[in-house]
Amino acid sequence: MTVQGDPLLSVNGLSKWFGSPSQGVRAVNDVSFSVGDGEVLGLVGESGSGKSTIGRLLLRLLDPTNGTIRFEGKDISALNERALRPLRRRMQMVFQDPYASLNPRLRIRQILGEALDAHGLARGKARAARIAELLELVGLSADHADRYPHEFSGGQRQRIGIARALAVEPRLIVADEPVSALDVSVQAQVLNLLQDLRRKLGLSMVLISHDLDVVELMCDRIAVLYLGRLMEVGTAEEVNRNPRHPYTRALLAAAPKPDPDAPKAQRLLKGDLPSPKSPPSGCVFRTRCPLAIEACATTVPALETVAEGHAVACIRSDVQELMTS
Amino acid sequence: MLGFGLFLRRLFRRRIVLIGALILLVLIVVALAAPWISPFDPNAVRVARRLRPPSAVNWFGTDEYGRDVLSRIIYGSRASLGIGASVVMMSVACGTLLGILAGYFRRLDGPIMRVIDAFMALPDILLAIFLVAVLGASATNVVLALAIVYTPRVARVVRASTLVVRELPFVEAARALGVSTWRIMSVHVLLNVTSPVLVQATFIFAYAVLAEAGLSFLGAGVPQEVPTWGTMIAASQSFSDQAIWLVVFPGLAIVLAALSLQLVGDGLRDMLDPKLRKSL
Amino acid sequence: MTDTSPLLDIADLKVAFDTETGTVTPILGVNLKVHAGETVALVGESGSGKSVTSLAVMGLLPRPAGRVAEGRILFRRRSGDSVDLATLPREAMQQLRGGEIAMIFQEPMTSLNPVLSVGEQIAEAVRQHMKLDRRAAQKRAIEMLELVEIPAAASRALEYPHEMSGGMRQRVMIALAMSCNPSLLIADEPTTALDVTVQAQILALIDRLRHDTGMGVLFITHNLGVVAEVADRVTVMYAGQVVEAGPVRALFRGARHPYTRGLMDCLPARAHRGADGRRVVKAIPGTVASALAIHDGCRFGPRCEHAADACRAAPPGLEFAEPEHLTRCIRWRSL
C-alpha cells in the first residue's frame, strides 16, 4: 500500500528522555520509521519498550528530546501549540482505557461536539446531523447522543472514542492498545470496526499493541521495540513468518497459542526487562539474548536491511539456529 | 439540557435533601422578613426582664440586657447568613481559580502553593484578626478577611483534584483534538473537581459563621449593635452557667444552617455526578 | 473417600448478595471439579462470575452482604475427609486458607505488605501454618524463593516488594502460596498484568510446581491462549453460569456451546480471509450480558446466532454432550 514520494509520516532519530539527561529514563532512543499513505504500521513491544511514548510524540502530546517527525512532508517536531492546531485535525488518537478517556460529566453529544468545535466544523444546524452520522459510522445509533459515558459498555465506549477521533476527519490515527482493555468477545468487534473504517475512509494508522496476533491481523508493517529501541521492522508477513531478530523470535515463541496441540510457549528469555533508567550498554537486548556475544556489549547495532522492506538491528541476525532455554 | 423542574424533582427525591432545602428556605425567609416577624426590637434594652428563661412572652428567653433572644436570632440570621454565604462564594471562587491554575500549570504550582502554605501555617483566627485589624472592623471587612482565610483550603483541595484530573486520558484526548487550554480547564477540570469543592463549601460556611463569632468576641468583628449568631454566643460566655438558653438557641441556629446547607450540598453533589444521578 | 474423588467439587453453586435494592445472584449454577495433579481453567469475561466463584471457594465473599445461597463446595482435606467450604466456620476456613488452599492474584503488589521484606513475609506465613521457629522459617523462606527460580534468593529475600519487577513479585506471591504445601492452588489471572515473555516463565513455573507437588490448580483466566497452554480441563462461564466444561482438546476441537465457539472464533489468531481478501475475525455481536439482569431463557440467547424459540422459552440446564463434556445448550446436537 506504500506510494511513491514522501511517506505520510516519517520519523528520524526520535528520542525522548524523561527527567535529567544523566539520570533520567530514556523512554525512546534513536527510533526511525515511516508510515505510508493508507498504511497501517504496528508498534509492538512489552512494557518499557517506549511504544506508547512514541505514539504521544507523534501527536506532539509530548515534546521530543531529539530527532524529527515529518507529517505530510512538514517537520512538526518543534512546532508550538498554536502552530500544531491545524495539524490536530489531520492526526488523531484512540486511547486504551475506554473508561478514563471519556469525560464522565459530559454527554456523548458534548464530547463529539467539542471535537467539532475545536476546529469550527459542522456548526449550527449541521451539528446534530454530523453527530448522528459519526455515531452510526462506529455502529452506534443517533439516539445515544444524549447519554453519558457510564451508560455504555466498554466496547461501546471505545466506539465513542473512535467516533471522537474521526469527528475531525483525520488522515492518521494513532491507536494505543485500542482493544486490550476490552472483553475478548468485544475485541473482535472493535478490530473489525477499525479495519472497516480504515478502508472506508482511507485512513493511515499507527497501531500500538503488545499483542502480536492483533498486530499481525491489522497491520501492513510491524516495528518491534525493546527498551526504547527499534529491533526489527518489516512487513507483517515477513516479521511473523521470518523473524530475524532474536527478540522478535522470543516474543513470537512466548505468545501462548490458542491451540492445545501447538508447541507450548517457549521461555527463551530469562529474567525480566532491565530498568530503562540504566539500559545495558551496546545492544539493549543482550542481557536476555540467548545469542549474545562479547561484541554485543560494545556496539549499538544499526538497523540494517536484510531483505526488501525488512530491517534488523542485530549483529547476530545471520544466526538461524534454534534457540533453547 | 435537563429542565429545571426535573432537576428539582430529582434533587428532592431523597427526603433528606428536601428537608435540608426546606430548613434553608425557612432560614432565608426568616432573615428577609425579620422586621415583620420578630416579636420585639432586637436592641430594646429592658433591664427589668434581664436573663429570663424561655417563657410565653420571650420564647427563647432574654439576655443580660433584657433583650429578646428570639428577636436577636431572627435579626442575627441576616448578618450571619449573609457573612457565611459571602465568605463561601468568595473563597470558593478564588480558591477554585488558584487551585486549578496551580494544579494545571506546573510553573505556577510552586509560587501559588508556597503562598497558600504560608497562609495555612497561621491559625485561622489569628490571621483573621490581623486582617480585620489592618482593614478595619466592618461587616464587609470581616467577609473579606474570612474569605482570605478560607481561600487556601479550597485551593488545596482543588489543586489536588486537578493534579489527578489533568493526567486522565480524556484531558489528553482533548489536547490531541486541539481543544484550547482555557476550555480544558473550565470544562474538563472544573466539572470534575466540583464534588470536593461543594463539600468544602459547606464546611466553610459553618466555620465562617463561627469564626465571625470569634472575631466579634475579640472585638474584631462586626460592630456590637448588629446582632449576629456569633456575637450572641460570644457575649453570653460569662452568663452561660446561669442562662444556658443564651448559648443553646443561637448555637442551634448555626447548627441548623450548617446542617441544612450540608444536606443540600450532598444532594447537589450527587446530582452533578451523572453516575449517581441515575440511581436517584 | 478414595483418592480418585476430586480435590474440589463444586455442585450447583449459587451465590447471593444482599444489596439496598434487594438480593442479587451473581452466581447461579456453577458445577466444577478439580482433581489432584490437574489444572482446570475457569474461563470467562468480565461479569461472568469466575472471580466470585473463586472467592466463594476461599470463603472470602464480602461479609455480610455475600453468601453461598445454595449448593456445596466440597474440599478433600489432606487427612482424607471432606469438608463443605460453603458451611465451614470462619476459623476452620482460615486454617485451610493459606494452608491446604492457597491463592495468587493478578496484581501481587496489592497482596504483598509494602513495609516488610519479601523474606519476612514468607517466613511469617510459614511460621503461622507450620509451627516452625524463626530461624527455620527464614531458611524455609529462602528455599521457597529458590523453588520459584529467583536468582540469588538469599539476598533477594531482603528486598521489599516495590524494589522488584512485576514478574519477580508474582514469583514471590507464588513462593508465599507454595510455602505451606497447598493441595489446591487457585490462580486468579496470575499473568494478566505481565509481559508475554515473563508470562511464559510464570506459566512454566506454575506447571512445574503442579507436576512436582501433585497439587490441583484452578486457573482463572480470560485468555484462551493461556488456557490451551496450561489446562487439562476447561470450564467456561458466562453471566454467572457454567455454560460448557470438558477436556481441553474436546473444547478447542469441538466446542458444544455457541459461546465457547464464538470466543474461539473471535481470536485474531483465528482470523480468516473474507471475500475481498481482507482478513477478518468473526465477532460475537452485542455486549457481555450481566449476571444480574433477568433472563427468561438462555443467558447467551440474545447474542447467539443459533438461538431458536425454545432457547427463549426456558433456561437450559447442563447436559452431557459426551462423557466428561458438559454443555448448557439445548441445540448442541445441531452445532
A190 and A275 belong to one structural domain: yes
What letter would DSSP give residue B68?
A: B
Is residue A1 scored above 50 in pLDDT?
A: no
B25-42+63-279: CATH topology: MetI-like fold (1.10.3720)
Cell readout for C252 is 478447542
Contact predicate A160/A88, CB 8 Å: no
Q: Which helix (H) or strand (E) holds C10?
A: strand C8-19
The reply to whether residue A88 touches residue B191, judged by beta carbons under 8 angstroms, is no
CA dist list (Å): A214 to A42, A261, C47, C199, C317: 9, 21, 24, 18, 35
| Chain A residues within 8 A of B275 when measuring between CB atoms | 104, 148, 150
Q: Report residue B70's pLDDT band, with 50, 70 and 90 as the boundaries.
A: very high
Domain that holds residue C170: 109-181
A169, A191, A217 — which closes off a domain? A169
A178 and A164 belong to one structural domain: no
Whole-number Å distance between alpha carbons of B130 and B115: 17
Q: Report residue B16's pLDDT band, with 50, 70 and 90 as the boundaries.
A: confident
Nearest 5°: the CA angle B129, B135, B136 is 80
Instruction: List the beta bridge partners of residue A68.
Output: A12
A169, A198, A224 — which closes off a domain? A169
**pLDDT tens digit string along A270-306?**
777 888 888 899 999 999 988 888 999 998 999 999 9
**CA-based nearest residue to B199, from B83, B95, B80:** B95
DSSP per position, B164-192: HHTTSHHHHHHHHTT--HHHIIIIIIHHH
The reply to whether residue B173 touches residue A97, judged by beta carbons under 8 angstroms, is no
**pLDDT tens digit string along B218-272?**
777 777 777 888 888 878 878 878 888 988 998 899 888 888 888 888 888 888 7
What letter would DSSP give residue C67?
A: E
Q: What's the pLDDT at C40?
A: 97
Which chains neighbour B (Cβ–Cβ under 8 Å, 3 or more pairs)? A
The reply to whether residue C225 touches residue A183, judged by beta carbons under 8 angstroms, is no
Question: Residue-wise over C128-145: b if at least 16 C-beta within 10 A, else e?
Answer: bbeebeeeebbebbbebb
Is residue A324 scored above 80 in pLDDT?
A: no
Q: Report residue B279's pLDDT band, with 50, 70 and 90 as the boundaries.
A: low
Nearest 5°: the CA angle C84, C106, A210 is 145
A36 domain residue, yes or no: yes
* pLDDT, mean of residues B24-49: 90
Whole-number Å distance between alpha carbons of B144 and B151: 10
Contact predicate C184/C7, CB 8 Å: yes
A141 and A199 belong to one structural domain: no
Is residue A146 scored above 90 in pLDDT?
A: yes
| Chain C residues within 8 A of A177 when measuring between CB atoms | none
The reply to whether residue C195 touches residue A265, judged by beta carbons under 8 angstroms, is no
Question: Cα-Cα-Cα-Cα dihedral of A242, A243, A244, A245, to 10°?
Answer: 180
* pLDDT, mean of residues A252-261: 88
Whole-number Å distance between alpha carbons of A55 and A175: 8
**pLDDT tens digit string along A100-115?**
999 999 999 999 999 9
A197 and A67 belong to one structural domain: yes
Which chains neighbour A (Cβ–Cβ under 8 Å, 3 or more pairs)? B, C
A319 domain residue, yes or no: no
Among chain B residues, CA nearest to A162: B173
Enumerate residues 254 to 273 of chain B having a beta carbon within 8 A of any beta carbon in chain A: 272-273
Whole-number Å distance between alpha carbons of A204 and A8: 8
- Distance (Å) from the C-alpha of residue A88 to the closest C-alpha of chain B? 6
Q: What's the pLDDT at A163?
A: 97
Structural domain count of chain C = 2
Q: What's the pLDDT at A76?
A: 95
Domain that holds residue A137: 100-169
Contact predicate B20/B52, CB 8 Å: no
Among chain A residues, CA nearest to C263: A185
Three-state DSSP class for residue C101: strand
C80 domain residue, yes or no: no
- In chain B, pLDDT over 90 holds for what percent of residues? 44
C1 domain residue, yes or no: no
Q: Which amino acid is at A80?
A: N
C148, C181, C214 — which closes off a domain? C181
Is residue B156 scored above 50 in pLDDT?
A: yes
The reply to whether residue B191 touches residue A89, judged by beta carbons under 8 angstroms, is no
Q: What's the pLDDT at B277?
A: 67
A131 and A181 belong to one structural domain: no
DSSP per position, A108-148: HHHHHHHHHHHTT-S-TTHHHHHHHHHHHHTT--GGGTTS-
Q: Report residue B1's pLDDT band, with 50, 70 and 90 as the boundaries.
A: very low
A194 and A302 belong to one structural domain: yes
**pLDDT tens digit string along A200-229?**
999 999 999 999 889 999 999 999 999 999
> What interface predicted TM-score (ipTM) does this complex get?
0.87
**pLDDT tens digit string along C193-207?**
888 888 999 999 999
Whole-number Å distance between alpha carbons of C335 and C321: 11
Residue of A61, A102, A164 with shortest CB distance to B175: A61
Enumerate residues 174 to 203 of chain B having a beta carbon within 8 A of any beta carbon in chain A: 174-181, 183, 187-188, 191-192
C304 domain residue, yes or no: yes
**pLDDT tens digit string along A62-93?**
999 999 999 999 999 999 989 999 999 999 99
Higher-scoring residue by pLDDT: A266, A155: A155
A324 domain residue, yes or no: no
User: Maximum Cα–Cα distance for chain A, whole Å?
Assistant: 69
A198 and A267 belong to one structural domain: yes
**Highest mean pLDDT of the ranges A160-164, A214-218, A290-294, C59-63:** A160-164
Whole-number Å distance between alpha carbons of A256 and C199: 9
For chain C, how many helices (H) and strands (E)? 12, 14
Q: Which amino acid is at B190?
A: L
Half-sphere exposure of B197 (CA within 13 A, CB side): 26
Cell readout for C271 is 482470523
The distance from CA B189 to its chain's CA centroid, rounded to whole angstroms, is: 24
Q: Which amino acid is at A33?
A: F
**CA-based nearest residue to B124, from B198, B218, B195, B193:** B218
Contact predicate B74/B34, CB 8 Å: yes
From the number of C-beta atoms within 10 Å of its C-beta (0-12, 13-18, 19+), residue C93 rates as: middle
**pLDDT tens digit string along B187-215?**
999 999 988 898 888 889 878 887 887 78
Is residue C1 scored above 50 in pLDDT?
A: no
What does pLDDT average to over chain C? 89
- In chain C, pLDDT over 70 holds for what percent of residues? 98
| Chain C residues within 8 A of A181 when measuring between CB atoms | none
Q: What's the pLDDT at B278?
A: 56
Whole-number Å distance between alpha carbons of A15 and A26: 8
Residue of C45, C168, C268 with shortest CB distance to A213: C268
Helix, strand, coil distribution of chain A in percent, nearest 5: 30, 20, 45
Residue of A61, A105, A114 with shortest CB distance to B192: A105
Whole-number Å distance between alpha carbons of C333 and C316: 14
Half-sphere exposure of C16 (CA within 13 A, CB side): 7
From the number of C-beta atoms within 10 Å of its C-beta (0-12, 13-18, 19+), residue B166 rates as: buried
**pLDDT tens digit string along C80-97?**
889 999 989 988 998 888
In a mutational test of the B interface, the residue from A56, A63, A105, A111 whose CB has the highest number of chain B CBs within 10 Å is A105
Residue C333, Cβ neighbours under 10 Å: how many? 9
A154, A169, A184 — which closes off a domain? A169
Contact predicate A226/A245, CB 8 Å: no
Contact predicate C232/C33, CB 8 Å: no
A178 and A158 belong to one structural domain: no
Contact predicate A271/A248, CB 8 Å: no
Q: Report residue C192's pLDDT band, with 50, 70 and 90 as the boundaries.
A: confident
A156 and A79 belong to one structural domain: no
Q: Report residue C145's pLDDT band, with 50, 70 and 90 as the boundaries.
A: very high
- Distance (Å) from the C-alpha of residue B6 to the closest C-alpha of chain A? 16
- Distance (Å) from the C-alpha of residue B171 to the closest C-alpha of chain A? 8
Cell readout for C161 is 516488594
* pLDDT, mean of residues C296-302: 88
Higher-scoring residue by pLDDT: A156, A318: A156
A15 and A145 belong to one structural domain: no
Structural domain count of chain A = 2
Least reliable range by pLDDT among A317-321, C129-133, C174-178, C324-328: A317-321
Q: Which amino acid is at C307?
A: A
- Distance (Å) from the C-alpha of residue B185 to the closest C-alpha of chain A? 13
Backbone angles phi, psi at A33, to 5 degrees: -165, 175
In a mutational test of the B interface, the residue from A114, A157, A168 whose CB has the highest number of chain B CBs within 10 Å is A114
